Chains A and B, each alone.
Chain A
Amino acid sequence: MHIIESGNTAAAHGVKLARAQVIAAYPITPQTPLTEKLSEFVAAGELDAQYIPVESEHSALGVCIAASSAGARAFTGTSANGLLYMHEQIHWAAGARLPIVMCVVNRGVGAPWTIWNDHQDSMSQRDTGWIQLYACDHQQIIDTVIQAFRLAETVNIPVMVCYDGYILSHTYMPFDIPTAEKVDAFLPPYAPDDALDPGKPCNLNTVTMPDTRQDVDGNTAPGYMDIRHSLHADLRTAVEEVVAIDREFRNLFGRGGNPLVESYCCDDAEVVAISLGSLSYQLRTVVDALRKEGLKVGSAGLRLYRPFPDQAIIELLSGIRRVVVFEKAISYGNQGPLYADLKSALYRQTTRPEVENYILGLGGRGIQTEELTSILRDACQGPGVENDAPRFIGIRI
């Protein structure tokens, strides 16, 4: 069924179709319509879930961590400072290998207060061990939420579905809501065999020693580092799972096909603009305009940011002359995080593109298509930049 609705509503429909069993959330702009919609689904009896209106984001993820440990499919959503308030719980959920799904409705972080969009919130949680997926439009939001549960439960790693505050969360776009029957066929009920159960007592997440240790039967149990290494190893193999799950989703629903990096006009491109989220679709407009000028330029957006899809990046960019990284986040005092990751992935290649870094749109600062066009035109025609320093676009003072 096609409807015209907001990105937050698209996410809520995804959660409903995924039959989340426990939902805990605390209101924060611009996430609020998502959780309002979910509480409405539950109150109306359309979604058979426990909706817990918690007193903080720290507790929101705390409820999800415990609910997931007790065998329920758990969901939460937040933005900005709410996400940061969850921080220790975010690490905890990944360390405990719980397949929680969380929507991050991207917003800049204080101080000073901002309610507008950038990616600093989810970027700051990059190294917590969660899978991070970015959606570029409303259809991708609902589809990605459904796939996120399947992915999380396949690899036992929590998944963040990130989408741009206001630009996607509050704008209205047409999208298709798949049937419940189809989603049920794609996403079977969550049935973990190691959930908390008085019939099979176990002591979860207890103090673990630096080294391996024997249990009462003489078996060797892993130490902390072994457990953490397996999280990393499983995250690396999760890249293949993302691809496999996308393939299955496409066979059932007829959508998808570029689950790692979504490229536009990149086949013959000499210059490629790379970004995350809705910005990569805005850059398509710029590419269209520059193509009319005869410039060989393309746009690519990362759909998967963690684990970093370095092989896909290498394949896409190995023959490219110049790559321009546009980012709504920065590692203060250094560079854009995507820029650093991307250069790292390309470092071992014998032929590698020149890479440039632009920071833009922080705290909702307007991103002018004319500015993007001018930068990409220069990247096509100019000599390129001289150093790694990130260039800020749109600074007024």
Chain B
Amino acid sequence: MSVQTTVLNLPEEEHVHPGNRACAGCGLGLIYRTVLKALGDNTILVVPPSCLTVLQGLYPVAATKLPCLNVTFASTAAAATGVVAALRARKKEGITVAAFAGDGGTSDIGIQALSGACERRDDFIYICYDNEDYMNTGVQRSGTTPKGVLTTTTPFTGKAQASKNVPAIVAAHGIDYVATASAAYPLDLYDKIKKALPHKGVRYIHVHTPCPAGWGFDPRYSVKIGQLAVVSGMYDLYEIENGIKRLTGASQKLLKKDRSPVKDYLAMQVRFRSFSEEDAKYLQAETEAKWEAYRTQFSED
């Protein structure tokens, strides 16, 4: 990556007021703060109903210092398009429009509007914070919930199906910039937002977002769990810029070093408690195979 921000040169200015309605240890809180730092204050946010609606506060109090348009669940990307169109019609230049939705709002109910906006090359940044369930409504399964995960709508044995690969679906639209990131690696996320900014069309950032309440772990371990997802090789940090995919940050380093066992990640979370020893082994093998392919695919890195 051309620019690498560190804690020493990360801007100190905050765009989130102190105090908000997020749960203790919320991964979204980390992401929100980091993304807003990268976007800067000349930005308009578009938010569908989600945990972020709650985090931002109840009328007439708001946690954000940026203007924000709350919209219907399925219309996040269409609304971002509408803001961009209005700014263009009114000859207002230099304002960034950023949509900020959860995984349900992106992979399920919002995917049609997102696909339409990507195809039209409408000009905004779309951030999907993926906590792998419908958390705001009380931990129901979503399109990105991993196989085997216990949710309130997949009780006892967990979700039977694999998760939907949303960044790959979005990348298939041929947009200029798609990236994955994690709440546990805020500097990597910050740099990806910065990198996305000068591109045109929809720029899509998918962010892995540990959720203590929904995943079942002590709030103090949010970053630890986010890191384990990456260093075990289960969740990969990458970017696809102008069609070229490359691993970044901690994932890139995994090409040349050992990954931590998948079971370490699973063991820390209540949502995986229906996983058997066999399931964990299968997941480990699946991860091995994926990384075997990566070693060939990304060997020049």
- Interface residues of chain A, those whose CB is within 8 Å of chain B, are 21-22, 24, 48-50, 52-56, 58-60, 62-72, 74, 88-89, 92, 195-198, 200-209, 213-216, 219, 221
Contact = CB atoms under 8 A, between A and B. Distances in A.
A196 B67 contact: yes
B54 interface: yes
A375 B9 CA distance: 83
Nearest to B67: A201
A92 B75 CA distance: 11
Given A196-B44, A207-B54, 6 more contacts: A65-B71, A67-B85, A68-B82, A70-B86, A89-B75, A209-B58
A22 B82 contact: yes
A294 B267 CA distance: 91
Contact of A66 (B54, B56, B78): B78
Given A52-B85, A208-B59, A63 B41 contact: no
A55 B119 CA distance: 10
Nearest to B65: A201
Contacts of B69: 66, 69-70, 196, 204-205
B59 A221 contact: yes
Contacts of B95: 198
Given A52-B81, A66-B81, A58 B59 contact: no
B72 interface: yes
A70 B83 contact: yes
A197 B87 CA distance: 10
Nearest to B77: A59
B78 to A, nearest CB: 3
A206 B62 contact: yes
A21 B75 CA distance: 20
Contact of B41 (A56, A198, A208, A215): A198
B79 interface: yes
B72 A62 contact: yes
B67 A197 contact: yes
B89 A72 contact: yes
B57 interface: yes
A70 B82 contact: yes
Given A50-B88, A56-B113, A63-B85, A204 B78 contact: no
Contacts of B57: 203, 206
A70 B44 contact: yes
Contacts of A22: 82, 85-86, 89
B83 A203 contact: no
Contacts of B83: 66-67, 69-70, 196
Nearest to A219: B60
Given A72-B90, A89-B72, A205-B69, A58 B113 contact: yes
13 contacts: A22-B89, A52-B122, A55-B112, A66-B82, A67-B82, A68-B86, A196-B44, A198-B67, A198-B95, A203-B56, A204-B69, A204-B70, A221-B59
A166 B47 CA distance: 39
A214 B61 CA distance: 8
Contacts of B22: none
Contacts of A21: 86, 89-90
A115 B113 CA distance: 26
B250 to A, nearest CB: 33
A72 B85 contact: yes
Contacts of A207: 53-54, 58-59
A213 B60 contact: yes
Interface in B62-108: 62, 64-72, 74-75, 77-83, 85-90, 95
A66 B115 contact: no
